[in-house]
Amino acid sequence: MDLAAKVFARFCHLQARHFRRRVRSLSPMGRDSGRRVVVTGMGFVTPLGNDQETVWSSLVEGVSGVGPITRFDASDYPARIAAEVRDFDPGDYMDRKSARHLARYCQFGLAAARQALEHAGLDPRRLDPDQVGVIIASGIGGMEEIERNHTQMLERGIRRISPFTVPMMIADMASGVVAMQVGAGGVNYAIVSACASSGHAIGEAAEIIKRGDAEAMIAGGAEATITPLTMGAFCQIKAVSERNHEPERACRPFDAERDGFVMGEGAVVLVLEELEFARDRGAPILAEVVGYGASADMHHFTAPHPEGAGAIRAMRRALDKAGVRPEEVDYVNAHGTSTRLGDVAETRAIKEVFGEHAHRLAVSSTKSMHAHLLGAAGAMEAAACVLAIRHGLIPPTINLDHPDPECDLDYVPNRARPARVEVAISNSFGFGGHNSTLVIRRPEPE
């Protein structure tokens, strides 16, 4: 075949792909339209590091990101430990003026989004504005800014409240800022569902692509709530660990000596794209998001359903939508917060969904290392699933020294495990009874 014929054949191939995408995008069938969603980029600002390589090496080496609180004086608090983001310079990702006017959680979200776009090789400004959307979730938003300006008002009067207080404190602003800064003009909003927020964000972003409302989505979560009020409030409900004398061992999911979760902060963002759109760009295809399930516990403000009823429904729905049988799943990245009730309820839910296969599954909680990133937790853990698939290593659950008899699954204790992971699921459950499950699969060879 001569060069002209090759060029013409390639042109016809691309036109056919474009036509198929347009037909699918106009289909009224929604999720049955045949559009598939892949992960092409990831960005990280976390207690384990602020780039993918550092985060992954910390996860597989069992490094803890927990230490004494330095963001404020916590000497009078029952819990004086947290997993803080360290060595973060917003100037690496935005100009000084932007940084000064953005809440800390927004800075994290923008930084992670820029990393993810660079990783994906995607520049939204080169595309039609409607092709790329953004959903950056946050469970709480700009709490630091609320506290600071409330103090200013009480001590110095209303005129000392910053005019930037409103845009800095509202939970949707990370999503808005990312769209403004990178030129993504498509679907844009935030999801607030406590600790399930960014799991929902990724799942809903995938659904947006499947129904043809975007070709790519920037999706994840951002949180920065290591503040006096937030920490004090969680201390009051006895939700956080008080193992202050050994912070790196405080977060211990499924261990009999666990005494609560450890607060974390940060942002993790994924770039999701429609499969053919990504292939046409020559984008790196890291994994495929094949299923998403969401449910409500209908049970309690903060406690999970004791039998994991809502979690069971979320997992089953995600697997059903993915067309994946329970026995095909190799790895579960558990919500695993290190709370007395939560770890037992999730264990029961996994056993109900997977039956005998539950005891052959690898289940781990990476929160044992990066702690609980609240609204960013689901994105962090979905990314951990992608990395486990890519590298053939399952991150461990560290600090699992005295297994709880009620938590009797294989939690990959203390050491990473080599394994070929074809299918992984990521669970995220939030106060209010919000449940989210993502099913992530190894990409098919092109």
What's the rounded Cα separation, in Å, for the pair 47 and 24? Answer: 41
Structure tokens at 197: 């927020």
Give yes or no: 357 in active site.
Answer: no
Position 22 pLDDT exceeds 80: no
CA-to-CA distance for 336 and 32, rounded, in angstroms?
32
Q: How many residues does the chain have?
A: 446
**Exposed, middle or buried by CB within 10 Å (0-12, 13-18, 19+), for 176?**
middle
pLDDT at 284: 96
- Checking if the pLDDT of 337 tops 60, the result is yes
Catalytic residue among 251, 372, 385, 434: 372
Domain parsing of the chain, residue ranges: 37-441
Instruction: Give the HSE-up count for residue 329: Cα atoms under 13 Å, Cβ half-sphere.
Output: 33
Strand, helix or coil for residue 362: strand
Q: How confident is the model at residue 12 (pLDDT cuts 50, 70, 90)?
A: low
Q: Which of 106, 119, 195, 407 is catalytic?
A: 195
pTM for the predicted model, two decimal places: 0.92
What 8-state DSSP symbol labels residue 46? B
CATH number among 3.40.50.720, 3.40.47.10, 3.60.21.10, 3.60.20.10, domain 37-441: 3.40.47.10
Q: Pick the catalytic residue from 305, 335, 370, 434.
A: 335
Q: How far apart are CA 382 and CA 197, in angstroms?
A: 12
Q: What is the pLDDT of residue 2?
A: 62
Active site residue 359: no
- Note the pLDDT of residue 415: 98
Per-residue pLDDT at 445: 82
Contacts of the segment 309-312: beta carbons below 8 A, 24+ positions apart:
309/349, 310/429, 310/433, 310/435, 311/335, 311/345, 311/346, 311/349, 311/427, 311/429, 311/435, 311/437, 312/349, 312/352, 312/353
101 is catalytic: no
Over the stretch 258-292, which tens digit does the pLDDT of each residue have? 999 999 999 999 999 999 999 999 999 999 999 99
> Residue 297 above 70 pLDDT?
yes
Model confidence over 59-94: pLDDT tens digits? 999 999 999 999 999 999 999 999 999 999 999 999
The pair of three-digit structure tokens given for residue 241, joined into one six-digit string: 């660990």
C-alpha closest to that of 208 among 145, 130, 266, 298: 130
Each residue of 199-217: pLDDT tens digit? 999 999 999 999 999 999 9
